[in-house]
Chains A and B, each alone.
Chain A
Amino acid sequence: MSLLDIFMIAIRVAFSAFVPLCFIAVCVWMERRGAGFFQDRSGPNRAAIFGFRAAGLVQNAADGIKLFFKEDLISDHIKHKFFFVLAPIIVFFCAVMSFAVVPFADTLVLGGNSYVMQGIPMDVGILWFLAIAGFSVYGIILAGWSSTNKYGILGGLRSAAQVISYEIPMGLSLVSLLIVYGTVNLSEMAQFQGQLLFGFIPMWGAVLQPLGLIIFVIAAFAECNRTPFDLAEGESEIVAGFHVEYSAMKFAVFFMGEYVAMFASSAIIITLFFGGYQIPFLNTQALIHLAKPVAFLLMIGLPVVMYYFAGWIRRSNVSHYERENDPRVFEANVYIKCFWGLIAIIELLLLAILLMQSGGAATHIFVALLQICTFLVKVTMMIFVYIWVRWTLPRFRYDQLQKLGWQMLLPLALLNIFITSAVVVALG
């Protein structure tokens, strides 16, 4: 094993372990400020470090510190303290692990070796995700049971019943997808989606399997315990469900686990249905050939985008009341300068790509970076959909939830399998 090999392993594992964790902050921020803006409020935007609010991101740090230093309370009536503590760990661990098989860039070829860009380079792919994501509900059930609390156990049971009923449509909608792709390996799936249908439509899962997409997304929402399927929490009827007895950092671990799970399932949805890391119309080969034109276009495009972005920051980041020497104007200027600095660095790197010989290692790394960025942008968009749905839809009633799972999604998923198999067989 050469040094490069070890380095690449470290990079991959670090990426698939830390990016979900970093995205917790982004998710929470998007959730809270997004919720505010959806409902015509402003969301948390006051916490500041030396007057810098970073559009409310500082609030995350404040919340984190607060949760961290809170008293870690286990009330006396809890008999099974071990399981009580274990439960949030299971939830969090499973959420992080389920991201490990998602490829975030195409196989990177460096010095004759190829590296699969996913945390654990395994062939089991989607099966791993199903197994681990299904396992995380054990954490919730365990939390509910070991809380020795009526509300807790109700929440846990609801969650168990819900996951069982939605795992089936989810698995079935995957079957039709597997028929189309002919593989369970997520990397191969993403590569498959780099092709073009009829020569001009990206061959994404969403195009080939629209029904499968709808079923899978609904089931994924249910699997993440997100609105409209968050009956396990149901604060109006069972207070907070499974985590009613949890406080301080144990609660925070549940909370973070929820967001990591959201990130992971967004990543899976992207990989299965929206082309993964693929940039539409530019698969990896094309990108490697066109690295220089792409870099050139980016060099022109980025400053233009940044110009409008800076204008937006300047317009938005002002105090909305009479104030002398508004400090937020100064704040906005600092942000804008920081962003321009970032753009300048990126421009320099792009310039280096332009000057370098094409087809070399630098080009390959550039392409991989582009794909990682594409992947993260797509995932962020999917997370936005999660948030958007949460702040639009009310919660389902329990019988409605079960009815939807068994009477609508299950037959639809079966129908989808039949249609897909028929088409695949007919096309030979």
Chain B
Amino acid sequence: MGAKVKTIERRGSTLTERIYLIEIFKGMARTLRHLVRNLRDNKKLLVRHYPEVQPEIPARWRGRHRLTKHDDGTVKCVACFMCQTNCPAECISITAKERLDDKAEKMPASFNINLLECIYCGYCVEACPLDAIRMDTGIFSVTDNNRQSFIIGLEELLTTPGAYSEEDYKKGGA
């Protein structure tokens, strides 16, 4: 199957086009129509009034991370370090400790993600064998005044809720 070739017609060689001015006036008429339309009714501007009107974030969108929990509220993560190993930005740092509630052998003692280094690639989510880390919080704006507060720890990762229902998230192909 050969590649589809589309021949684009070369423009700009007829006399009227070579005089420039006529085409320029046509272009100016077009932009003026936009201006007049927008001046008459500025609801037609193609803008979202951002901080007040928030964008709709789809479930597949990679936002800030969170760690998921079992139904009984205990942490799912088994501190296997898969995400840390896979992270291209090397911004995850985990320390493991022994787990005593028989769910697994290990659990994270600390789990830090440096959001300033994170490139939001989602590889950590893909690497996790237990679906313990997700990026489905829908948080897209991460701002603060000092660097320290961008390193989020276990506590914050566990308490941040997901923004979507389980079905919606699964529909995204996760």
Task: Check A393/B24 contact, CB under 8 A, given A42-B47, A323-B52.
Answer: yes
Q: What separation, in Å, do the CA atoms of A66 and B128 have in the docked complex? A: 47
Instruction: Give the chain A neighbours of B47 by CB distance below 8 A.
Output: 40-42
Kindly state whether residue B109 has any CB partner on chain A within 8 Å: no
User: Are the CB atoms of A37 and B28 closer together than 8 Å?
Assistant: no
Taking the complex as formed, is B6 at the interface, i.e. its CB lies under 8 A from any CB of chain A? no
Q: What number of B residues sit within 8 Å (CB to CB) of A?
A: 21
Q: How far is the CA of A34 from the CA of B35 in the complex (A)?
A: 7
* Tally of contacts, chain A with chain B, CB under 8 A: 50
* Contact B31–A388 (Cβ < 8 Å): yes
Taking the nearest CB of chain A, how far is it from the CB of B13, in angstroms? 15
What 0/1 pattern do residues 41 to 80 of B give for CB contact below 8 A with A? 1111111010011000000000000000000000000000
A contacts with B, residue count (CB < 8 A): 20
Binds B, one of A146-154, A239-247, A314-322, A364-372: A314-322
A391–B47 alpha-carbon span in the complex (Å): 18
Given contacts A37-B38, A38-B35, contact A388 B43 (CB under 8 A): no
Q: How far is the CA of A42 from the CA of B31 in the complex (A)?
A: 15
Interface of A is mostly: loop
A344 on the B face (CB < 8 A): no
- Can you list 28 contacts pairing A with B, beta carbon distance less than 8 Å? A34-B35, A37-B35, A37-B38, A37-B45, A38-B35, A39-B34, A40-B38, A40-B45, A40-B47, A41-B45, A41-B47, A42-B45, A42-B47, A214-B21, A315-B41, A316-B42, A319-B49, A319-B52, A320-B42, A320-B43, A321-B49, A321-B52, A323-B52, A388-B28, A388-B32, A388-B35, A389-B28, A393-B27
Binding site for B on A (CB under 8 A): 34, 36-42, 214, 315-316, 319-321, 323, 388-389, 391-393
Q: Top 10 closest A-B pairs, CB basis?
A: A37-B38, A392-B31, A40-B46, A38-B31, A37-B35, A42-B45, A392-B28, A42-B47, A321-B53, A392-B27
Given contacts A38-B35, A39-B34, 16 further A-B contacts (CB under 8 A): A34-B35, A37-B35, A37-B42, A40-B44, A41-B45, A41-B47, A42-B42, A214-B21, A316-B42, A320-B42, A320-B43, A320-B49, A321-B52, A323-B52, A389-B28, A392-B31
